[in-house]
Amino acid sequence: MGAAHSTSEEVRELVGKTGFSSDQIEQLHRRFKQLSGDQPTIRKENFNHVPDLELNPIRSKIVRAFFDNRNLRKGSGGLADEINFEDFLTIMSYFQPIDTTMDEEQVQLCRKEKLRFLFHMYDSDSDGRITLEEYRNVVEELLSGNPHIEKESARSIADGAMMEAASVCVGQM
């Protein structure tokens, strides 16, 4: 976040781009600096010591989402090696609740952005589709923490859920 004299202008721009308040941006900037070790960018390794992610079964997908160029609005695919603070805010903005002061068109646009973000998390090969194999991987990751569910059971659950979804969304998957 630049020199002191330009900080307020930078914060105003970030408020407009992300929807975070200036206080939230300052708080997220402190967290960014903590994660990055006071460096100007964050790499995937910087997420290795985030306690809230350590036990999350889809941790790898969440971390990958921070570096996915599609989520960073920087292209149609591929992963960035590192992200700066503005990129970090862009990704964090997907996790914000929808603002109740938005009109219906803005709400729909916001929902579409959030769904696109989630889609990108699961479309691991960036081909614009979530295949049965990608879906299986997600279900297996989510169920991996449950010692009572074997891998074959997780695969059957994924297959059944995908077939049900396919019957409802014919032509959209």
Encoded tokens for 137? 């991987």
Q: Is residue 125 part of a domain?
A: no
Residue 157 lies in a domain: no
How many domains is the chain built from? 1
Q: Residue 135 falls within a domain, yes or no?
A: no
Provide the residue range defining the domain that includes 11: 4-103
Structure pTM? 0.78
Residue 43 lies in a domain: yes
Output the pLDDT for position 122.
Answer: 87
Q: Find tokens 């990958």 and name the residue.
A: 64
Inter-residue contact 74 to 118 (CB < 8 Å): no
Q: Is residue 142 part of a domain?
A: no
Query: Is residue 109 assigned to a domain?
Result: no
Query: What is the CATH classification number for the domain harbouring 88?
Result: 1.10.238.10
**Given this model, what pLDDT does residue 173 score?**
47
| Residue 134: partners with Cβ closer than 8 Å, 6 or more residues away | 122, 123, 124, 125
Domain-located, residue 112: no
Range 60-85 burial, b when 16+ CB lie within 10 A, else e: ebbbbbbbbbbbbeeeeeeebeebbb
pLDDT per residue rounded down to tens, the chain (173 residues): 544 445 688 888 998 888 899 999 999 999 999 999 999 999 999 998 888 888 888 888 899 999 999 999 887 778 999 999 999 999 999 999 988 888 999 999 999 999 999 999 888 888 888 887 888 788 778 877 777 788 788 778 877 877 787 776 655 44
Report pLDDT for 3: 45
Bridge partner residues of 83 (DSSP): 42
Residue 162 lies in a domain: no
